[in-house]
Amino acid sequence: MNTYQLQVVENTNKKEKPVKDQVPFGTTFTDHMYVLEYETEKGWYDPKIVPYGPISLDPAAMIFHYGQTVFEGMKAYHTEDGRVLLFRPEKNFERLNLSSERLSIPALDEKLALEHLTALIKLEKDWVPKTPGTSLYIRPYIISTDANLAVGPSQTYKYMVILSPVGSYFPGGLQPVVIHVEDKFTRAVKGGTGMAKTAGNYSSGYQAQANAKKEGNADVLWLDGVEKKYIEEVGSMNIFFKINGEVITPELNGSILKGITRMSIIELLDTWGIKVTEKRMSIDELYEAYDAGHVEEVFGTGTAAVISPVGELNWKGKKMIVNNHEIGELSQKIYDTITGIQTGKIEDTLGWTVEVK
Amino acid sequence: MNTYQLQVVENTNKKEKPVKDQVPFGTTFTDHMYVLEYETEKGWYDPKIVPYGPISLDPAAMIFHYGQTVFEGMKAYHTEDGRVLLFRPEKNFERLNLSSERLSIPALDEKLALEHLTALIKLEKDWVPKTPGTSLYIRPYIISTDANLAVGPSQTYKYMVILSPVGSYFPGGLQPVVIHVEDKFTRAVKGGTGMAKTAGNYSSGYQAQANAKKEGNADVLWLDGVEKKYIEEVGSMNIFFKINGEVITPELNGSILKGITRMSIIELLDTWGIKVTEKRMSIDELYEAYDAGHVEEVFGTGTAAVISPVGELNWKGKKMIVNNHEIGELSQKIYDTITGIQTGKIEDTLGWTVEVK
C-alpha cells in the first residue's frame, strides 16, 4: 500500500444543511466524500477527501455489467455533550473485507480505512444531526472500474465513502410492522452471496417486496432457498424471536448476513444473563409456537432501525399477530440500551463506541 | 413514451480502428454509443446517439449500491458480400424485458429498441470487422441512476448500447476445454435471479471460477443450488450433451438463463430431424452414462463462442474425458451451420438474421 498519505481537497462551495433533521433516508449528502483507488500493480493508493460530486466512469466499467461490488452501512451519532460516536466501526470494515473476499475484490487495510473514515467525519462534524433519533449515515463501498466486458475480476477499483444525515427511523416511537412470509422468491442460498453485503442481494428482493406491499405488508420475511422452510432474514435485517421466554435467532449459515446489530444484541443479552439460541428454525415451528400461545416478541435488527418490531406475520394466508401489534418489553429495552450506548446516554461498558476526535 | 425522436451527435474525433481483428474481447469500443433516459413521470425519453465517452453519475446512484441493472449480449456479423447481419436481435430485446421484469426495471419498447440499435450499427458499420470468425459485439444495458440509498426500485434509469469489435473466440479452430464441476458455490436457485441477465449473477461466480482455474480448469459447470445434483450451466453458457445418440440439455427451470443460442440449436436440430430432450439431468446420471461409454459429445452454447466443446469434466476427483478431447461431429456441424447463417454463408431458411440497412 504505497502513496497512502491522505490528501484533503476542501469544498469551497458548501451546501446548506437541512433545516429540520427529518430528511428522507439516503437522499441528502454532505460536502465531502472519500476516494481511494486500486490497481493490481500498485495496490490501494491515493486516498483523498474531495468535494462530494459526480464520478465519471467508462460506459464499459465492470460495475455496470457484472456487479463486482460490496458495501457497508454504519452511523455516527451526536451525544448530548457534543461528542461524535461511531458504533463498532471495526466490525464493519471486517465484514467489508469478508464481503470483498466473496466477490474477489482485494482487501482494504481495516485500520487505515477506519483512520481515514474518522478524518472524513471529523471534517463533516457539523453534518452529524443532533435531534434525538437522528444520525449521520455512513456508506463505504467498493466498485470495479475496469473498462472491460470480459467476465472476470476487475484490475482496478474505487473505494469510496459518502455520508448522509438521516432522520429518526421511527419519528413517532417504535412502530411494529406487518411482514409477508415469502414462499416464492429467494434472497440467497448456500454457496451463493447471501453472507456478503453486495449489490445483487438487494435488487433481487424488489419484486417480492413490491408484491408484499400490494397486500399491505411493509416487507418480507425470507425463507431458505432450498426448502422454503427455514427462517433467514426480514427485509434487509436479521430477525429475533422471543418464544416462551427463550430468545432465538437463525444461525449464520452462509446465506444470512452477519449483522453487527445482531451480534451486539447477542452480546448485550449475554451481559443480562439472557442466552440467545442461534439455530435453524422452521416457519412451521414458529407457527406451532404461535398456536400454542408462546410467541411473545418478534423483531428485525439492523443499522438503519436498530430494532424494528414485527406486529404481524402473513404466511400462506395464516396471520400471526404478535403481542397485540405492540412493541414487546424486551424489544424496547434492547432498543433503548443500544441507542443509549450509541448516543452516549448509557455508559458504554462493552467498549463498543469509538469517539471521532 | 414521449420525446422519442432519435438524435444523433456525431463524433468529430474518430478513433483508429484496430489494425488486426484480433483485439482482446470487450476492451475496444467504437466511436458512438446509444443512450436513452427514463423517469417515472415521463417514461423512456430522449434517445440519442452520442460520441462514446465517460458517463457521470452521483456517487449515491443506485447502480453502485443495490445492483438494479440488466444487460444483453449480441453480435453483428459482416458477410462476404458486404452486408451486416444481426442474429435474432428481437429475442435479445424480449429477454432484456424479461430480465427487467425480474429486477423491477421498466420495460423498453422492443421494436423501437431494435430500430435504434440498427441506426447505431449503421453509423458504426465500418467497425464491424471482416476477418472470418470476428464480429461486432453489442452490449445493451440498463442501469438505475437515482441518487438514493433507500433500498427499493429507482425512479430513473439509463438504457445504453455500446459496441466492441471482437476477434475470433477460437482463432485456432474449436478447442475443447477442461471444466470443473462446482459442488460448493452456487450460481442461482429457484426464486432467485438465475434466469435474468443481471450483473450480480456474474461476479458471484468469480470465486468458484478462480478456484477452478488454479486446478487447470477453464471454467465451472454449475449444479443446482438446492441439491448440488442437477446440471445447470457451464460458465456463462448453456450446456448440451450427446449421449448414446440422444441430444439433451437441462430444462429451463427458473435458475437457468434462456439462451438464444440454446433456443436456436434446439430449433435447428429439429429441422435436421433430431429431437433435443430438455430435462432435469443429474451429474450422477451423466457419470453413469460415461461409465457405460455413452457420452459422445458435450458442449457449451452462447453468443460469445456459439459452441464451446467440453473435452474434460472434473467432478469430485472423477475425470470424464469426452470424445478423446476432440470436437464432436455434431458440435462442429452445429457450429458451422449457425456461424454460416450468421455470416450469410449459409442460406437463412429460418428467418433468423436481420440485415442492417
Query: B136-166, pLDDT tens digit by residue?
Result: 999 999 999 999 999 999 999 999 999 999 9
Q: What is the pLDDT of residues B86-143, one digit of tens each?
A: 999 999 999 999 999 999 999 999 999 999 999 999 999 999 999 888 999 999 999 9
Q: What is the pLDDT of residues A131-177, one digit of tens each?
A: 888 999 999 999 999 999 999 999 999 999 999 999 888 777 889 99
- Name the more confident of A19 and B85: B85
- Residue A1: the pLDDT is 43
Task: Give the C-alpha separation, B300 to B309, whole Å.
Answer: 6
- Which cell numbers hold the place of A104? 474477489
- Residue B1: the pLDDT is 43
Q: Which helix (H) or strand (E) holds A310?
A: strand A306-315
Number of other CB atoms surrounding residue B345 within 10 Å = 15
Structural contact between residues A104 and A128, judged by C-beta atoms closer than 8 angstroms: no
| Residue A158, strand partner residues | A37, A143
- Residue A171: the pLDDT is 76
- Residue B2: the pLDDT is 47
> Å from A139 to nearest chain B CA?
9
Task: Give the C-alpha separation, B191 to B240, whole Å.
Answer: 24
DSSP sequence for A58-89: -TTBGGGTT--EEE--EEEEE-TTS-EEEESH
- Residue B4: the pLDDT is 80
B69 touches chain A (CB under 8 A): yes
- Residue B3: the pLDDT is 58
Q: Which chain B residues contact residue A67 at CB under 8 A? A: 67, 69, 198-204
> Å from A283 to nearest chain B CA?
18
- Which cell numbers hold the place of B15? 478513433
Instruction: Provide, rounded to the nearest whole percent, the portion of chain B with pLDDT above 70.
Output: 99
- Which cell numbers hold the place of A55? 464520478
- pLDDT tier for residue B21 given thresholds of 50, 70 and 90: low
Average pLDDT over residues B185-189: 92
Structural contact between residues B94 and B101, judged by C-beta atoms closer than 8 angstroms: no
Q: What is the pLDDT of residues A117-130, one digit of tens each?
A: 999 999 999 999 99
Q: Which chain A residues contact residue B50 at CB under 8 A? A: none
Instruction: Provide, rounded to the nearest whole percent, the portion of chain A with pLDDT above 70.
Output: 99
Residue A2 pLDDT greater than 60, yes or no: no
Q: Measured over all CA atoms, what is the biggest interatomic distance in chain B, rounded to whole angstroms?
A: 64
Residue B67 pLDDT greater than 90, yes or no: yes
Structural contact between residues B78 and B124, judged by C-beta atoms closer than 8 angstroms: no
3-class DSSP string for A194-232:
CCCCCCHHHHCCHHHHHHHHHCCCCEEEEECCCCCCEEE
SS3 A261: helix
Task: Give the C-alpha separation, B229 to A151, whole Å.
Answer: 25
CB contact residues (below 8 A), chain B span 154-183, against chain A: 160, 162, 164
Q: Backbone phi, then psi, for B314, in 5-degree steps? A: -125, 115
- pLDDT tier for residue A3 given thresholds of 50, 70 and 90: low
Question: Which chain B residue's Cα is nearest to A207?
Answer: B104
Does the beta-carbon distance from B189 to A184 stay under 8 Å?
A: no
Domains in chain A and their CATH numbers? 7-166 (3.30.470.10), 177-342 (3.20.10.10)
> Å from A275 to nearest chain B CA?
32
- Residue A114: the pLDDT is 98
Residue B331 pLDDT greater than 50, yes or no: yes
Average pLDDT over residues A81-98: 98
3-class DSSP string for B142-168:
EEECCECCCCCCCCEEEEEEEEEEECC
Closest partner residue to B203 (CB to CB) among A59, A66, A205 is A66
Closest partner residue to B191 (CB to CB) among A57, A137, A186 is A186
DSSP sequence for A29-63: --SEEEEEEEETTTEEEEEEEEES--EEE-TTBGG
Instruction: Select from B5, B50, B8, B45 the least CA-distant residue to B29.
Output: B50
Closest partner residue to A203 (CB to CB) among B53, B57, B68 is B68
What's the whole-number average pLDDT of chain B? Answer: 95
Q: What is the pLDDT of residues B227-237, one digit of tens each?
A: 999 999 998 89
CB contact residues (below 8 A), chain B span 201-260, against chain A: 201-207, 209-210, 225-228, 235-236
- Residue B27: the pLDDT is 94
Task: Give the C-alpha separation, B267 to B274, whole Å.
Answer: 9
